[in-house]
Structure 1
Amino acid sequence: MVSDGSSGSNAEYSDDVDRSVDVSTANTMRDRAGESRFKIWVLLAANRLHVTAVLALGVFVSFVLLVEVVPPSLLPQLDAQDTIETMFSTMISAIITGVTLVVTIGQLVISQENGPLGDQRERMENSMDFRDYAEELIGTPSPADPSTFLRDLVNVAEERAEAVRDGLSGIDSEQLQWEVDEFTDSVVGNSETVRDQLDGATFGTFDVLFAALNYNYGWKIYQVERLAHDHAEDLGEPEEDLLHDLKTALSLFGPAREHVKTLYFQWALISLSQMILYVAVPALVVAGVMLTVVEAATFPGTTFGVEHMTVLVGAAFTLTLTPFLLFTSYVLRIVTVAKRTLAIEPLILRDSQR
């Protein structure tokens, strides 16, 4: 089976088949979006602590270079005591304000989990109703592990896509046969890719949600609806039932993915609040030391032509920015995921996927 969404069928079709119909898509979000692997990796896949470290290194190097290189030289201003006091007194205020804001966001996330008994019971009933429906679809009790649950839904969609191909194979329409083969190969290839990514993925990391994002169920639902509409004259009730069963399986993946996404957002925002609290205290200590202890001539001299005071102030400034850089790395991932999953129904919002 090819993995790029192209047809893997050995069937030959006449020249009368219209192959311009866009049926299949690539198997990964990156390929469908037409963006670089590095950009997707930075925004989504990379460890957020590693991204924060790279941002901090970039801030430090940029600060030192700008102070040392930009004319007129910034060194006289940096050596002034009032400049250091102004810089780090401002940073203390910014750290306290920023930490308070982030902790407030964490409290709002936690507040969604609180509520009276009636609300909690309704929440439980809705969840169990969904699991019961999924159990009917899968044929076994719904797994408790999110990655296994999503993988089972992908497996059911793949099985029903193959059932559609087998069930429609006897229809005398080369155009329909070609479109069904292309569509089924695309579903199977995408399912194999996502299933491999879900295998061993652990919730709490981004791996589960990242794999779920690669499964473009919305496009597949649209193709099922289009096939049923464009070839209605060739389809009987059994064939329509097969397409309906496939559409049902694909439709169930949507709310399942959104539920996993919501849980991940809550998990990530709470983790972000914890880590910002951890780094805020050292950042405040560094800012306080720079404000009360360090003077303009505390570390005279140069190394490789770089003033020691420049390195000291740059390092301290970078450390005090760490809470904001950590916040930036997490929010970049969250808003990127949110932007790519705005529509739960079969609506294609990105030009590259239309």
Structure 2
Amino acid sequence: MSDEPADRLRERSGRSTAVLYLLLDADRRLITTGIVTLVFVATAGLSLVVPDAVVVLRETDSVDTAFQALIGATVTGVTLVLTLNQLVLSQELGAVGDQRERMDGAMTFRDDIRDLLGETPSAEPSAFLQEIVEEIADRATAVDESGPLDEDLESMLGGTVRNAELVSDRLDGASFGEFEVVRAALDFNYSWKLHVTRRALDRDDLPEATRESLESLAEALRVFAPAREHFKTLYFQAELIELSRTVLYAAVPALVVALGVVFYVDVGAFTGTLLGINTGVLLVSAAAAVVISPFAVLLSYVLRIATITGRTLSIGPFILRGDGPEAGD
């Protein structure tokens, strides 16, 4: 099918493999460390190309001014992150009626999945998704065996089985709370498969056996969407809580370092050099890198969350990126 998008997110994304790895797959601690290191290297390196950089630092109060601004930014940033954390926590709070409604919704959905699978689904998120994906593969195989099909539909069914097997293998043993569960779910391009399935059901010349098998497949694809979105939402909540905690941990040493520079550091007192860079400049650059660490933590987490959100804006058979092979949700 010429306009069929790739199944894997890496293949249908317009970004390079390296960029997508940094945005999604890399450990957030690695990204944070990279940002902090980049700030240190860039700040220290600028002293080699800026004329009389050391003299400027010695004869002006630019260091004090900069770190005073960073102190204010750090306090403001921590306040905003705490507000965000309270917003996330507020989703878990509510009257007994609200909690009961949430419980009823969760149980109703699990009952729907039990009807789909013919057995009680797993309580573990990765196994829960794995069971749905494997059921989709079985139903796609049943459609393929129901009778002669056109080339486009056969291509979609074959791709569905292969895609489901790949995602199922990646979900096997994955632990919720880590990104791997959501990452594997993102690689199952259900929206295109549902679109093709429903388009095939519009035909009047379908044999009855094929139509029943297609309707069964469409039903399985429909339940995968809310299941993925539910676990994606839970993952976002867990990530935002972890973000708040990490920012708080980074903010305390950042404030101490910033205050220390303002109170005690005199760049003019440093006359030595290391690698051709004044040691005072190196000290100030290292301090600046430490002080921006809370922002680096925030940036590293938000990059992943924003990337996932951008790839899953719609639910259902809507293709938001109409760029041929890069399309798909």
Q: Contact 1:138–1:156 (CA<8 Å) still a contact in 2?
A: yes
Whether 1:155 aligns to 2:142 is no
- The match for 1:187 among 136, 157, 160 is 160
Counterpart-to-counterpart distance in 1, 2:194 and 2:71: 52
TM-score (norm 2): 0.95
SS for the counterpart of 2:204 is helix
Per the alignment, residue 197 of structure 1 pairs with 170
Counterpart-to-counterpart distance in 2, 1:292 and 1:34: 48
Q: Write out per-residue CA displacement over residues 139-182 of structure 1, whole angstroms, 9 at most, x where no aligned residue.
A: 2212111111111110000000000000123xxxxxx3422321
Per the alignment, residue 280 of structure 1 pairs with 251
Counterpart-to-counterpart distance in 2, 1:53 and 1:217: 36
| Number of equivalences | 325
Whether 1:268 aligns to 2:239 is yes
Counterpart-to-counterpart distance in 2, 1:23 and 1:308: 59
Counterpart-to-counterpart distance in 2, 1:270 and 1:304: 41
CA RMSD of aligned residues (A): 1.4
Q: Contact 2:7–2:187 (CA<8 Å) still a contact in 1?
A: yes
Structure-to-structure mapping, 1:187-266, within 5 angstroms: 187-229=160-202, 232-266=203-237
SS for the counterpart of 2:292 is helix
Q: Contact 1:24–1:186 (CA<8 Å) still a contact in 2?
A: no
Aligned structure 1 segments of 4 or more residues deviating by more than 3 angstroms:
21-25
- The match for 2:53 among 68, 71, 74 is 74
Per the alignment, residue 142 of structure 1 pairs with 121
Q: Write out per-residue CA displacement over residues 196-254 of structure 1, whole angstroms, 9 at most, x where no aligned residue.
A: 2112211111110011111110000001012222xx23313332111110000001000
Q: Write out per-residue CA displacement over residues 80-124 of structure 1, whole angstroms, 9 at most, x where no aligned residue.
A: 362221111111111101000001101100001000000000000
Counterpart-to-counterpart distance in 2, 1:160 and 1:55: 47
Q: Which runs of 5+ in 1 are unaligned?
A: 1-20, 170-175
- The match for 1:123 among 75, 93, 102 is 102
Aligned partner of 1:130: which letter?
F
**1:341 shift after superposition:** 0.5
- The match for 1:105 among 84, 89, 101 is 84
Aligned partner of 1:49: which letter?
R
Per the alignment, residue 292 of structure 1 pairs with 263
Q: Which runs of 5+ in 2 are unaligned?
A: none
* Distance 1:353-1:58 versus aligned 2 partners, 3 A rule: same
Whether 1:54 aligns to 2:34 is yes
Counterpart-to-counterpart distance in 2, 1:167 and 1:23: 25
TM-score (norm 1): 0.89
